Amino acid sequence: MSGLRLERAGGVLSATLDRPAKRNALDGPLFAALRDAFAEASADDAVRVVVLTGAGGAFSSGGDLAPDEPSSDDVTTTMRRFGRCALALHECEKPVIAAVDGVAAGAGMSLVLGCDLVVASDRARFALLFVHHGLGLDLGASWLLPRRVGRLKANELALLGDWIDAAEAERVGIVNRVVGAGELASSARAWAERLAAAPPLAVRTIRGAMARAEGLTLAEALEEEAVAQAACSASPELRAALEARRR
């Protein structure tokens, strides 16, 4: 059992972390299943958007830490394998919406940071707990977090490892929207359905441009926009969008 439950409906792939007895802690099989799910969603034209969530009132309590003491070589190999999951999320050509209830801690919070949009329930809590376990960051949190909240706030969250609630996560830019727990699934679904109904080339183009922009100069971003806009303009999607506006 991978611990990942996948369901499709109307262009939306729902990926549910499903290890509720461990508050959806992430182990090797679950990381591998997530990596494959993101890669397959990226390649599948029938999938327009992914919703990532957790079962049992939690998003994820983080990595499923082994009780033994593996060698440094083993840890490096494992981290590189887990890192491929983070890359598959980052490189997915379809938007990924995180719907966060309960705890999103450690690697669970790192996963949230990699998503394009984040809806959280008002009982959600977030923490990068690595420092308390004597560990460094994972799943690209060292790269993602400063881009979300700025370096000073990122240092505070990573070095102190404090919990923050959903309201604070929204204030600092980790969460887009906070809703009541009973509204979480429907709110995430509403955004997913809007994205699924949008022109897919435009969505893919915008998502890719936003993901790459911080590594580009303004001149490079402008050139990339020019090339991408030409591709979009030649697509049947533009004509369909214009016709829809005339109705």
Task: Give the mean model confidence (pLDDT) for residues 146-165.
Answer: 96
Query: Tokens at residue 105, please?
Result: 């801690």
Distance CA 90, CA 100 (A): 18
pLDDT exceeds cutoff 90 at 160: yes
Q: From start to end of 76-207, where are the E strands?
A: 96-100, 103-105, 117-121, 125-127, 164-165, 177-179
**Which pLDDT band, with edges at 50, 70 and 90, does 18 fall under?**
very high
**What mean pLDDT value characterizes the chain?**
90
Query: Do 12 and 51 contact (CB within 8 A), yes or no?
Result: yes
pLDDT exceeds cutoff 90 at 143: yes
Helices (H), 69-132: 72-91, 107-113
CA distances from 200 to 48, 95, 117, 209 (A): 7, 10, 17, 14
**Which pLDDT band, with edges at 50, 70 and 90, does 244 fall under?**
low
Task: Give the mean model confidence (pLDDT) for residues 51-65.
Answer: 92
Question: What's residue 13's pLDDT?
Answer: 97
Question: What's residue 218's pLDDT?
Answer: 87
- CATH fourth-level superfamily of 4-196: 2-enoyl-CoA Hydratase; Chain A, domain 1 (3.90.226.10)
**Per-domain boundaries in the chain:** 4-196, 198-246
**In the chain, what's the furthest Cα-to-Cα distance?**
65
pLDDT exceeds cutoff 90 at 236: no
pLDDT exceeds cutoff 80 at 245: no
Q: Tell me phi and psi for residue 96, to 5 degrees.
A: -120, 125
Task: Give the mean model confidence (pLDDT) for residues 113-122.
Answer: 97
Distance CA 104, CA 133 (A): 16
pLDDT exceeds cutoff 70 at 220: yes
**Which pLDDT band, with edges at 50, 70 and 90, does 233 fall under?**
confident
Return the residue matching tokens 């959903």: 166
